[in-house]
C-alpha cells in the first residue's frame, strides 16, 4: 500500500483494540502486557523505518506498567504519540 499509492505516505500505528488480538487481551489482563503491546508495534515500525511510526496504547488499571511502557516507547523507541487509553 505504501509503495503503490504513488505518494509519500507515513502511518502511525498502535496495538489493535480488539479482544481477538493476543497483545490487546494480554494488556487487559496483565501489567507486563502493556509493554509487550508496544513492543509488537515497535517491531513493525522497525521494519519500515521513516514510514511507520509507533503509538502507545496504555491501560490505566496498570498505572505503573503503563508509565514504564510510555517511558520505553516514547523515550527509547521514539513513538510519536500516546494513541489510546484502554478504558474498561
The rounded average pLDDT for each run of 10 residues, N- to C-terminus, in the chain (88 residues) is 75 73 80 92 92 91 94 96 72
* pTM confidence score: 0.81
pLDDT score at 23? 74
Give the single-character DSSP code of 86: -
User: Domain extents for the chain?
Assistant: 11-85
pLDDT score at 42? 94
62 burial (CB, 10 Å; 0-12 / 13-18 / 19+) is buried
Amino acid at each position: 500500500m505504501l509503495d503503490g499509492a504513488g505518494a509519500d505516505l507515513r502511518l502511525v500505528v498502535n496495538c489493535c483494540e480488539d479482544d481477538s488480538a493476543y497483545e490487546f487481551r494480554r494488556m487487559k489482563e496483565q501489567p507486563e502486557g502493556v509493554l509487550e503491546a508496544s513492543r509488537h508495534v515497535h517491531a513493525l515500525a522497525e521494519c519500515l523505518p521513516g514510514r511507520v511510526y509507533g503509538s502507545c496504547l496504555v491501560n490505566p488499571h496498570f498505572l505503573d506498567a503503563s508509565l514504564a511502557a510510555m517511558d520505553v516507547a516514547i523515550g527509547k523507541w521514539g513513538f510519536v504519540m500516546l494513541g489510546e487509553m484502554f478504558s474498561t
